[in-house]
Structure 1
Amino acid sequence: MSNTYQALKCNPDCNCDNDRKECIYERRYAEMSTSSGVLGVDVISFGNESELVPQRAVFGCENLETGDLYTQRADGIMGLGRGRLSVVDQLVEKGVISDSFSLCYGGMDVGGGAMVLGGITPPPDMVFSHSDPFRSPYYNIELKELRVAGKPLKVSPRIFDGGHGTVLDSGTTYAYLPGHAFAAFKDALIKETHVLKRIRGPDPNYDDICFSGAGRDVSELSKTFPQVDMVFGNGQKLTLSPENYLFRHMKVSGAYCLGIFQNSDSTTLLGGIVVRNTLVTYDRGNDKVGFWKTNCSELWRRLQLPSVPAPPPSISSSNDSSIGMPPRLAPDGLPLNVLPGAFQIGVITFDMSFSLNNSHMKPNFTELSEFIAHELQVDDIEV
């Protein structure tokens, strides 16, 4: 155990164990996984690449995990929501960051990305939506309209304001629409993809909406799947590429399934799939959320290496000038630092190809990159 760790003693502001000695917690998530344990205080480090110095913070020390939290590859979960125990709130209260943070998720099959704690100067073509902190305890945006292939869904704008409103949740994988909105979206999408063949989903326990015949190249999906626009209350819109609403069929090559589902209640829930290859800035201090299309898998490398041009999105099906392409240079305010104590002398690029006899086999690129990093004696993030 860490020699700087301390259990949070029972007090009126927390739930206490049966002996009333320690603070405890229990969390249940949308997919019904759970996490429970005790609350503790320790020094949290943010990695060698971060400008943030280690900080003492309260966090949950797990004793039990169930569901996806237990089976996932990641170990634990980081809370970035609103609330006194959120990592962001604690850092803001300490005065070490401004009341803002940004996330950028990599694209389909790619992974990677970046997280920035604190404020950044937004790119000039970043699209914003108002986020009302009093609307719900979550990060809300003002979604007023969905368009498929440029055609608005025939639903009332009020449908996106039911329940908790439209919630942007980085911890949720897929997206969920209220019943009528989902039905309209599904029908519009099927109408625009009539040249593709409808097939069964990869899991017989779920009635997934899947299509075959689109090909394996993700960058070509916009030729067979329509563009989807999210229009916000201020009139600005964010254009979604097919990778922002599809996931790859795990059993049929060149097939994809709809990653937007019907919600069991009236809340509109937008998960990580919607913001693939999108820098999302949660500007809590100014009650707004910003969206900027970019190549998130390359963004972290650009944050580390000075004078590296801004990467374009890996997929772009947008013709809307309000989104546009990223500027050639990194936006002001992003920390462009090389690793501490290191000299940047160049960038080595090499290509690799794989030949697989079994089409169901998939190389473990994460493990491969870790092996290469070990052999080159560099950090994993540099590979």
Structure 2
Amino acid sequence: MASTRNQFISIVSLFLSLARWVVVSGNVLLSPSHHKGSRPAMFLPLHHSVPNSSLPHFNPRRQLHGSHPNARMRLYDDLLRNGYYTTRLWIGTPPQMFALIVDSGSTVTYVPCSTCKHCGRHQDPKFRPEDSETYKPVKCTWECSCDNDGKQCTYERRYAEMSTSSGVLGEDVISFGNQSELSPQRATFGCENDETGDLYSQRADGIMGLGRGDLSIMDQLVEKKVISDSFSLCYGGMGLGGGAMVLGGISPPADMVFTHSDPVRSPYYNINLREIHVAGKQLHLNPKVFDGKHGTVLDSGTTYAYLPESAFLAFKHAIMKETHLLKQISGPDPRYNDICFSGAGIDVSQLSKSFPEVDMVFENGHKLSLSPENYLFRHSKVRGAYCLGVFSNLNDPTTLLGGIVVRNTLVMYDREHSKIGFWKTNCSELWERLHVSDAPPPLPPKSEGTNSTKAFEPSVASSPSQYNLQQVELQIAQIIIVISFNISYTDMKPYITELTGLIAHELDVNTSQVHLMNFSSLGNGSLSRWVITPRPYADFFSNTTAMSMIARLSEHRMQLPYTFGSYKLLDWNAEPPVKRTWWQQYYLVVALSVLLTLVLGISALGIFLIWKNRQQSDHSYKPVDVAVQEQELQPL
């Protein structure tokens, strides 16, 4: 009987293993290149090295209706200097901050773990699960691959440029920042134990996976029914970078251009591209050229655009024909045969005078117009020169459109209705134009933290969320920040000048605008209070400057060197101008007016007296009977 039961268990186990293998073999991983200089052909797809149930899985019937909050988040970095755009996420209790590449082609969010044996030096300290009160490991089951101890689920990702990331899966509270309507949520993420290639050398901490899959941050939030099944990205333009991201639905602009995105066709965000026009002339291509393999894929984590060989050659020849007046030069990197042009000038807004407009026409006839910054990147060694940011995908028939194509374009990934929308705008300014309602802050911090400001949630006197920036100009007269150090005041005193310059640099103001109010001892450490004031002869900061500083402080992006030891941003406060009475506002004007009146009056009186005296001198006379003393004649 026992033998029969064992055989039955073995058969069931074998069946489950085969079933899992079938499910895994039907899913693939988009392999974006999200790093600067990644110009070789893109080969899609790549499979996971270790099959497990965390592979992308999409349920096309999952839809949400009704009104939901959303997470509005700022984007940082740009394509030329970094090759990617990042956002900020806070993980754990107290929150630990991370700079993550926003990647619509990845299906898992991961950060370096404190136990990582082979991780590079990134922007922020590694995640410390032992410091989080709410962290829980994802326990090993038959549905996932397990670690060597058989206790915790693992993940592994491999990308086209052969960089890899692997580690364990954990669950913790994830916060989206003070300016998010969405409250902190529990979610599963990857805790890296090993990374190679560009993932090892990049400055960003990790990846924020926005693709279709059970481990995707989007799928997890939608499954919890806390946001609608949609997200939007808006990448800043050439030379500016930055931008905005929204997890959840937004009302699309009236003139947004939409195209269908078929979730059944592939696990990636594909669009129905049919034609490309250069300077108003259609390229002579069969529309099926854009429909090979995975079709036309939109991937926010890829830097450039990659076309099938025939489409690339036609596009290249059309661009070169329209730019025959420009001089063709060598690219910035001798390893790549870049197509570059000089003589167009340094003003990006004037590039359309030298380079043609490009149109992408979708199956429904709708058209997305691309300006030169959507297919060019700056030459890093020649001023006023630009290179083609569109390359051949060689033997891969997939059309891959990276971040360069959608710079200064609001892209709405409406997963619920299986469509993607495009709307041209200034993405670098979009964040300031967004009306963001009040949001709950991340969970309160512990009293101890690491060497960064990320573990502290500041108190706010006036935050951007209290204003509709389309209608109201912020008036901030000064910003006060309080920082504690674990170094004594005596040891810190010689470095006050250097510290002042560092704070000014982090907040992007002049050193003359940063003033030390007081510096005192606090146990074995020290406590400092600083005030940042407007430029000389200004009553308050400009709207742009105020928003920039408030964002840096509220999102904990003020970073100081480790030479200053462990420090904490305890508090910051943005203070509006003090309301003054009429006399307080204009007493100086009144005093100057009175003084000027007195000066003019005295001057007029003096001039009158002088004039009168001269008049009397000119009309003076002597009586005729007055004797005049004779004078002796001088000899000739």
TM-score by length of 2: 0.51
SS in 1 for 2:206: coil
Counterpart in the other structure of 1:257: 387
Deviations 1:305-329 (A, max 9, x none): 79xxxxxxxxxxxxxxxxxxxxxxx
Counterpart in the other structure of 2:411: 280
Summarize the alignment of residues 114-153 of structure 1 with structure 2, pairs less than 5 Å apart.
Answer: 114-153=244-283
Code of the aligned partner of 2:348: V
- Would the aligned equivalents of 1:245 and 1:260 in 2 still touch at CA under 8 Å? yes
For 1:267 and 1:237, the matched residues in 2 are separated by 20
Larger-gyration structure (1/2):
2
For 1:30 and 1:348, the matched residues in 2 are separated by 48
Shift of 1:348: 6.0
Higher relative helix content: 2
Unpaired segments of 5 or more residues in structure 2?
A: 1-130, 438-461, 477-503, 515-529, 533-548, 558-636
SS in 2 for 1:15: coil
For 2:318 and 2:466, the matched residues in 1 are separated by 55
- Would the aligned equivalents of 1:304 and 1:338 in 2 still touch at CA under 8 Å? no
- Determine which of 317, 320, 334 is the counterpart of 1:204: 334
Code of the aligned partner of 1:131: S
Summarize the alignment of residues 332-351 of structure 1 with structure 2, pairs less than 5 Å apart.
Answer: 339=464, 346-347=473-474
For 2:553 and 2:280, the matched residues in 1 are separated by 39
Counterpart in the other structure of 1:102: 232
For 1:338 and 1:164, the matched residues in 2 are separated by 45
Deviations 1:154-196 (A, max 9, x none): 1100000001100000010100000000010001110110001
Q: Which moved more, 1:95-104 or 1:71-80?
A: 71-80
Deviations 1:190-219 (A, max 9, x none): 011000111110000010111111111111
For 1:141 and 1:157, the matched residues in 2 are separated by 13
Shift of 1:380: 1.6
Counterpart in the other structure of 2:429: 298
Deviations 1:9-57 (A, max 9, x none): 1112222123221111111123332211111100000000000000000
- Determine which of 83, 92, 100 is the counterpart of 2:213: 83
TM-score by length of 1: 0.83
Counterpart in the other structure of 1:236: 366
Counterpart in the other structure of 2:377: 247
SS in 2 for 1:70: helix
Count of aligned pairs: 337
For 1:263 and 1:20, the matched residues in 2 are separated by 41
Q: Which has the higher contact order (CA 8 A, sep 6+)?
A: 1
For 1:340 and 1:244, the matched residues in 2 are separated by 32
For 1:381 and 1:124, the matched residues in 2 are separated by 35
For 2:468 and 2:405, the matched residues in 1 are separated by 37
Code of the aligned partner of 1:148: V
- Would the aligned equivalents of 2:434 and 2:468 in 1 still touch at CA under 8 Å? no
Q: Does 1:184 align with 2:321?
A: no
Code of the aligned partner of 2:424: K
Unpaired segments of 5 or more residues in structure 1?
A: 307-336, 350-366
Counterpart in the other structure of 1:379: 551
For 1:70 and 1:172, the matched residues in 2 are separated by 17
SS in 2 for 1:379: helix
For 2:180 and 2:389, the matched residues in 1 are separated by 33
- Would the aligned equivalents of 2:135 and 2:173 in 1 still touch at CA under 8 Å? yes
Shift of 1:101: 0.5
Deviations 1:270-300 (A, max 9, x none): 0000000000000000000000000001011
Deviations 1:234-280 (A, max 9, x none): 00000000000000000000000100100130000000000000000
For 2:342 and 2:400, the matched residues in 1 are separated by 27
Distance 1:196 1:119, change over 3 A: same
Counterpart in the other structure of 1:158: 288
Counterpart in the other structure of 1:71: 201
* Identical-pair percentage: 70
Q: Does 1:370 align with 2:507?
A: yes
Code of the aligned partner of 1:39: L
SS in 2 for 1:221: helix
- Would the aligned equivalents of 2:464 and 2:550 in 1 still touch at CA under 8 Å? no
Shift of 1:67: 2.4
- Would the aligned equivalents of 1:177 and 1:261 in 2 still touch at CA under 8 Å? yes
Code of the aligned partner of 1:346: E
What value does the CA root-mean-square deviation take over the aligned residues? 2.4
Code of the aligned partner of 2:212: R
- Would the aligned equivalents of 1:144 and 1:231 in 2 still touch at CA under 8 Å? yes
Q: Does 1:171 align with 2:301?
A: yes
- Would the aligned equivalents of 2:436 and 2:468 in 1 still touch at CA under 8 Å? no
Shift of 1:123: 0.3
- Would the aligned equivalents of 2:135 and 2:172 in 1 still touch at CA under 8 Å? yes
For 2:283 and 2:506, the matched residues in 1 are separated by 43
Q: Does 1:26 align with 2:153?
A: no
- Would the aligned equivalents of 2:278 and 2:359 in 1 still touch at CA under 8 Å? yes
- Would the aligned equivalents of 1:48 and 1:339 in 2 still touch at CA under 8 Å? no
- Determine which of 335, 338, 352 is the counterpart of 1:222: 352
Counterpart in the other structure of 2:27: none
For 2:553 and 2:354, the matched residues in 1 are separated by 34
Code of the aligned partner of 1:370: L
Code of the aligned partner of 1:4: T
For 1:28 and 1:210, the matched residues in 2 are separated by 31
Distance 1:278 1:341, change over 3 A: closer
